[in-house]
């Protein structure tokens, strides 16, 4: 107990040592996440109000992810040759234009074009976020910084979901129309772009120096980074001479579990708002409250996950929380009672999402500085391609077999994919370390 308390105090003390740039980055991502939460909550309802089918709604969700997949690696490679501040600002600008366009034009072609632009922006921000935090933190601070960033952006999802759930009704009362009409939902979507504009200002104040991590990285590397080819940049150190060995490389092992998480998540996560509202008739306001509570609980879990990681190890802690999420996923997808579904949605979301920053921190530590944005881009590609394929299938399948049968199939497949991902994490990273310890004892 004393050792746990001591480690907890040490963990809390790390927050005070974050650099000015790290704090500005946290502020920007926190504001942006409020807008992102509003967009996630209301986009599908906005598209429904425009008269689009489930297949088209699934296609729009897939298009955003597909865009991130197509541009992920090129943006990652390009970003490793740009100042992080410049890359983050460019990403934010693309996202603003895309979000404003989606809110302004309701016809199919403009919607698709602006969805692509917002996907380019999201991919740029995603490819540079983990490297930026790695380069503006020491090894001792890194796990805490990744977790705080994820927790803050998730906690502000509480504000975004709660506020976003009530915005359509507020605009509807002002306009004298129903909350489900196009204009209130269109104005709600416009708030997304407005909040990303606000998030630009902390990014403009970044100095983009990398002093916090330079000495740390040099000590770990033993030498400065050397230029490598685009193909070689995708491989871990030591594999450059043998591109054919990529299938057995640690780089690919770190990506593979995300393939199955993306396949599973894309089936249902983009459509949870439609699932809950359609199955139980929940209003926009109550739906926003439910997802707001989910964000708050997830943020609390993210702040606790580093303590679990310190006791169990980063990947072992990820395996534990992902395994615990499976029973709640079963309850969420198949229980006929809303209170049980609500509890399952809250707990499952917390368990799955609290693992993400710890796993990314683990992956960043396995790579030299000049490959981190490339890996982040590759991870975005893997996630986005699988998410896009599953999202497109999900909308098409529900149009084909109906609401209930469609979601039943998709939740069952999601459980299978999550179980495969968790098994891979254990087999790739936990069991080998366990074997090494056992051999060392004999």
pLDDT classification of 150: cutoffs 50, 70, 90: confident
Segments of 189-266 assigned E as strands: none
Pairwise pLDDT comparison (379 vs 155), residue with the higher score:
379
pLDDT score of 217 more than 60: no
- 65-88 mean pLDDT: 81
Lowest mean pLDDT among 247-251, 277-281, 349-353, 385-389: 247-251
Write down the number of H helices and E strands in the chain: 18, 0
Please give the Cα distance from 335 to 343 (Å, whole number).
Answer: 11
pLDDT score of 348 more than 70: yes
* Range with the largest mean pLDDT of 143-152, 175-184, 210-219: 175-184
> Cβ neighbours of residue 81 under 8 Å, at least 6 residues apart?
none
Task: Please state whether the predicted TM-score (pTM) of the whole model is above 0.75.
Answer: no
Pairwise pLDDT comparison (353 vs 334), residue with the higher score:
334
- Residue 322: strand, helix, or coil: helix
Residue 242 confidence (pLDDT) = 41
Is 263:417 a contact under the CB 8 Å cutoff? yes
- 273-285 mean pLDDT: 87
Residue 406 confidence (pLDDT) = 92
Cα–Cα distances (Å) from 415 to 151, 230, 322, 332, 411, in that order, read: 25, 36, 11, 11, 6
- 223-243 mean pLDDT: 36
pLDDT score of 132 more than 80: yes
Please give the Cα distance from 266 to 272 (Å, whole number).
Answer: 10
Percent above pLDDT 90 for the chain: 22
pLDDT score of 397 more than 90: yes
Mean pLDDT over the full length of the chain: 79
Residue 96 confidence (pLDDT) = 93
Residue 246 confidence (pLDDT) = 36
Pairwise pLDDT comparison (401 vs 223), residue with the higher score:
401
Please give the Cα distance from 305 to 314 (Å, whole number).
Answer: 9
- Residue 205: strand, helix, or coil: coil
Residue 356 confidence (pLDDT) = 79
Neighbours of 324 (CB within 10 A): 15
- Token reading at 422: 């968790």
- 4-28 mean pLDDT: 68
Pairwise pLDDT comparison (221 vs 332), residue with the higher score:
332
Residue 11 confidence (pLDDT) = 52
Residue 226 confidence (pLDDT) = 37
Is 303:317 a contact under the CB 8 Å cutoff? no
The full length of the chain comes to 442
Lowest mean pLDDT among 99-113, 215-229, 353-367: 215-229
pLDDT score of 4 more than 60: no
- Residue 373: strand, helix, or coil: helix
Q: Dihedral of the CA atoms 346, 350, 351, 355 (nearest 10)?
A: 160
pLDDT score of 415 more than 60: yes
Greatest CA span in the chain, whole angstroms? 77
Pairwise pLDDT comparison (427 vs 209), residue with the higher score:
427
> Cβ neighbours of residue 209 under 8 Å, at least 6 residues apart?
21
Residue 268 confidence (pLDDT) = 92
Residue 163 confidence (pLDDT) = 83
Residue 411 confidence (pLDDT) = 95
Pairwise pLDDT comparison (298 vs 411), residue with the higher score:
411
Pairwise pLDDT comparison (217 vs 185), residue with the higher score:
185
């Amino acid at each position: 107990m004393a050792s746990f308390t001591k480690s907890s105090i040490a963990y809390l003390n790390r927050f005070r040592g974050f650099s000015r740039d790290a704090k500005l980055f946290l502020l920007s991502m926190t504001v942006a996440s409020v807008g992102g939460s509003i967009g996630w909550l209301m986009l599908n309802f906005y598209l429904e109000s425009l008269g689009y089918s489930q297949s088209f709604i699934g296609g729009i969700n897939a298009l955003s992810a597909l865009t991130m997949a197509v541009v992920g690696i090129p943006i990652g490679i390009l970003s490793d040759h740009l100042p992080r501040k410049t890359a983050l600002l460019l990403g934010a600008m693309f996202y603003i234009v895309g979000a404003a366009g989606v809110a302004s034009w309701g016809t199919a072609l403009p919607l698709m074009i602006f969805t692509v632009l917002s996907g380019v922006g999201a991919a740029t921000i995603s490819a540079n976020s983990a490297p930026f935090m790695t380069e503006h933190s020491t090894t001792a601070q890194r796990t805490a910084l990744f977790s705080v960033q994820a927790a803050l952006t998730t906690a502000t999802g509480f504000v975004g979901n709660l506020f976003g759930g009530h915005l359509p009704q507020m605009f509807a009362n002002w306009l004298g129309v129903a909350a489900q009409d196009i204009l209130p939902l269109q104005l709600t979507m416009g708030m997304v772009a407005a909040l990303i504009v606000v998030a630009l200002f902390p990014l403009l104040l970044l100095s983009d120096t990398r002093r916090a991590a330079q000495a740390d990285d040099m000590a770990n590397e033993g030498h400065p980074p050397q230029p490598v080819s685009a193909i070689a940049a995708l491989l871990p150190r030591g594999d450059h001479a043998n591109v054919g060995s990529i299938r057995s490389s640690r780089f690919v092992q770190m990506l593979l579990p995300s393939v199955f998480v993306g396949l599973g998540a894309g089936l249902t996560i983009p459509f949870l708002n439609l699932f809950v509202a359609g199955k139980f008739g929940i209003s926009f306001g109550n739906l926003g409250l439910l997802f707001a509570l989910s964000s708050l609980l997830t943020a609390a879990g993210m702040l606790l996950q580093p303590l679990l990681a310190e006791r169990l190890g980063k990947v072992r802690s990820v395996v534990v929380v992902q395994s615990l999420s499976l029973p709640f996923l079963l309850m969420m997808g198949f229980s006929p009672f809303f209170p049980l579904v609500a509890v399952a949605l809250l707990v499952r979301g917390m368990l799955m999402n609290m693992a993400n920053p710890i796993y990314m921190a683990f992956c960043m530590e396995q790579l030299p500085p000049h490959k981190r944005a490339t890996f982040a881009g590759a991870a975005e590609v893997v996630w986005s391609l699988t998410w896009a394929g599953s999202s497109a299938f999900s909308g098409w399948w529900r149009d084909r077999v109906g609401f209930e049968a469609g979601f039943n199939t998709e939740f069952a497949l999601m459980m299978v994919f999550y179980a495969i991902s968790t098994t891979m994490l254990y087999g790739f990273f936990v069991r080998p370390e366990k074997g090494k310890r056992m051999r060392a004892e004999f």
